[in-house]
Structure 1
Amino acid sequence: MTKIFLRTLTLSILMLGITAGIFYMLWDQDEQKWATLYEFFYSDLPIGAWIVIGFITLAFLIAIWSNSITKKKESQIAKQLDLITHGELSKKKMRGLSKRNRKALISIDELVQTQKKSLQRMTNDKANVQEKAVQERLVLERQRLARELHDSVSQQLFAASMLLSATNETIGENLPEANAKQLAQTEKIVQQAQLEMRALLLHLRPIALKNKTLAQGLQDLLDELRQKVYFNIQERLEEVTLPKGAEDHVFRIAQETLSNTLRHSKATEVQLLLVERNGIVIFRVQDNGVGFSIKDDSHAGSYGLRNVEERAIEIGGTCKVVSIPDQGTIIEVQIPVEQEETKNDSHTTS
């Protein structure tokens, strides 16, 4: 209401001043003509008073009209700003605004969206840094647990296995049949516990590539495994062309597959293959163990096939599993190699 009063007062003074200037230009200082403004009456009011009242009324109406237009514009701009905050601004919703206001709102919208993207990027970067720090702590903790298990439980299991084996050879024949069976069964249980512990250590303390090629890293892994397992390992490892991330995934797939072979397959021979043929990298692990039925989900889960398949899919590859009960298992992963595009200038035309 204060704005309307101020606008009415300003417009009234302005119009009266303009009118007075016009009368002065027309009548100059003629007192008789000026006298008509206050000598002639209409409804008990002089003509001059009616002129002043008319100007004030007209100024009041103009003030109300301009105030309503201003409020309408402010409301429209407020809606546009609200749309900007929600990222829903469009040219169709800016109809009725001046070209200048539309341009200003578009600039504000671009600035807000740019800031939103910057904040999202900063948030994602922060989350990635935190996740990386957590992963590093997890790796260190897993390595610490692996060292402690290797230095304590694994050594104790090895000592227990050696003692049971020596006891079985020394006095096993002199024991009653029931006790001899119990002693042999205990020895098998300890040996199985050793296998489980070695598989667990393979998970907890994986050998990293550390600037080595995939073939070199797999060779180091197999060399370490040969010192800990009883089955025969045969390998054919060739250098392949894969990105660093894909090499890491294939290396983890090898660890997962060998670990589960060690725990579940009861194999006496394991064959490992890594080759590149026709733009496809082939990684295969084959054993002559107990195998399992593909239709049996519990056996499939025990071999960790889900993790292997997920890792293969993440690098754009495929995973194929063939297993026959009492004959063995084959796990094969194929990854297509991305070929660099070469320009053929012979096909260019001028």
Structure 2
Amino acid sequence: MSILKRQVLYSLTLSIVLLIVFTVIFTFIFPLPDWQFFIRKEIMDIPLIVYIPVITIILGMTGGIWTALPLRKKLYDIQSGITNLEQGRPIESGKLFNIAELTGLWNGLIKIQEQINKRTKQSQKLVNEKVEEQEKRIQEIVSQERNRLARELHDSVSQQLFAASMMMSAITELRSEEANPTESKQLKMVEGMINQSQLEMRALLLHLRPAALKGKTLQEGIKELLVELSNKVPMEVDWKVEDIFLDKGIEDHLFRILQESVSNTLRHSKATSLEVLLIQRDSLVILRVMDDGVGFDSEKEKTGSYGLQNMQERALEIGGSLKIVSVPNKGTRLEVKVPMVETEGDKE
């Protein structure tokens, strides 16, 4: 039976019960012979006895309406639940209405919401897996292309620059002291430009080499990078690298920051020495890179340099901080501090 039919039946039943009760009461109070008074007595040309069932029906309908008010509130709650479900908002579980049909309807809405949430999670999981797989493929393609470009630049442009540098050195050494000073100055400038181009090319090759550690520890990656740098660049390179156990994500970000910093040193600093430290002090891991180059105005560079912003973002992503102190003609110092957070697995 529907809720509406049940409510109408309830109102009619209440009206009939009240009519019977009033009839019984009148029978006891007023004997049948006295009922002639109620038949003859009229109010607004209507016999008084007609008012009795009318009043009874009005009272019954009033009682029905009174009991329907809570039902209206329950129906409003159902409607609100359906609206929330349609708009993706959660609805309250375990709600009781004291009416079996409404309670069953609400429980049905809860089950629909659970099914929607389950399917939404499955869809999101599939999308995330798809995006991760695409990013992995893209990274592999980018890594392969970087390697290819690095090999081609090393085998062609880098070798040509090296040959040009050797030829220019030989030309300047063979020229007599009585040669034209202007030409000698120009040749020196050309030689310096070639040497600077070599440094730029080495910095570019350093950028193009695979950024990831590829199974190496951070310590191994740093040592390999700096050994290669000291063999290829006329610069004094010193380092102190402690054995520190770090998560792979932290190691990767610190290594990328070091690559960016070394690349900036090669391209811009004109430094003669470079010092790298990776140490642990108390609960902090510290990566420090220092050179004796020309330096720069760090306040101006912070807003305009993509490399500095990139390093800053990487430091923040691993919960660390990056500080750069640079003074014109006095060198640059970059320092990254990362707190070591002890996890439950470390305690065990």
Given that 2:325 and 2:334 are in contact with CA atoms closer than 8 Å, whether structure 1 keeps it comes out as: yes
- Secondary structure in structure 2 of the residue aligned to 1:173: coil
Change (3 A) 1:236 1:91: closer
Given that 1:207 and 1:221 are in contact with CA atoms closer than 8 Å, whether structure 2 keeps it comes out as: no
Give the equivalent residue in structure 1 for 2:225: 221
Q: Which amino acid aligns with 2:299?
A: K
Q: Which amino acid aligns with 1:205?
A: R
Residue-by-residue CA offset, 1:196-231 (whole Å, 9 max, x unaligned): 000000001136423222111100111111111111
Give the equivalent residue in structure 2 for 1:317: 320
Same amino acid, percent of matched pairs: 48
Q: What pairs with 1:1-350 in structure 2 (closer than 5 Å)?
A: 83-88=84-89, 90-91=91-92, 98-171=102-175, 173-206=177-210, 208-297=212-301, 301=304, 304-341=307-344
TM-score by length of 1: 0.71
Q: Which amino acid aligns with 1:87?
A: G
Distance 1:207 1:91 in 2: 50
Given that 1:237 and 1:273 are in contact with CA atoms closer than 8 Å, whether structure 2 keeps it comes out as: yes
- Secondary structure in structure 1 of the residue aligned to 2:298: coil
Distance 2:320 2:333 in 1: 16
Distance 1:303 1:173 in 2: 46
Given that 1:195 and 1:263 are in contact with CA atoms closer than 8 Å, whether structure 2 keeps it comes out as: yes
Change (3 A) 1:261 1:75: same
Change (3 A) 1:343 1:177: closer
Deviation at 1:304, TM superposition (A): 2.4
Change (3 A) 1:114 1:338: same
Given that 1:284 and 1:333 are in contact with CA atoms closer than 8 Å, whether structure 2 keeps it comes out as: yes
CA RMSD of aligned residues (A): 2.8
Distance 1:156 1:336 in 2: 46
- Secondary structure in structure 1 of the residue aligned to 2:293: coil
- Secondary structure in structure 1 of the residue aligned to 2:275: strand
Residue-by-residue CA offset, 1:270-310 (whole Å, 9 max, x unaligned): 11101111011010001111111223237x74582211111
Distance 2:89 2:207 in 1: 50
Deviation at 1:105, TM superposition (A): 1.4
Deviation at 1:340, TM superposition (A): 3.5
Change (3 A) 1:303 1:167: farther
Change (3 A) 1:330 1:75: closer
| Runs of at least 5 residues in structure 2 that lack an aligned partner in the other structure | 1-74
- Secondary structure in structure 1 of the residue aligned to 2:232: coil
Q: Which amino acid aligns with 2:343?
A: E
Change (3 A) 1:196 1:86: same
Residue-by-residue CA offset, 1:110-153 (whole Å, 9 max, x unaligned): 11111111101111111111111111111111111111000000
Aligned residues: 271
User: Is 141-150 or 302-311 further displaced after alignment?
Assistant: 302-311
TM-score by length of 2: 0.71
| Runs of at least 5 residues in structure 1 that lack an aligned partner in the other structure | 1-73, 345-350
Change (3 A) 1:76 1:240: closer
Change (3 A) 1:106 1:172: farther
- Secondary structure in structure 1 of the residue aligned to 2:203: helix
Given that 1:246 and 1:315 are in contact with CA atoms closer than 8 Å, whether structure 2 keeps it comes out as: yes
Distance 1:207 1:105 in 2: 51
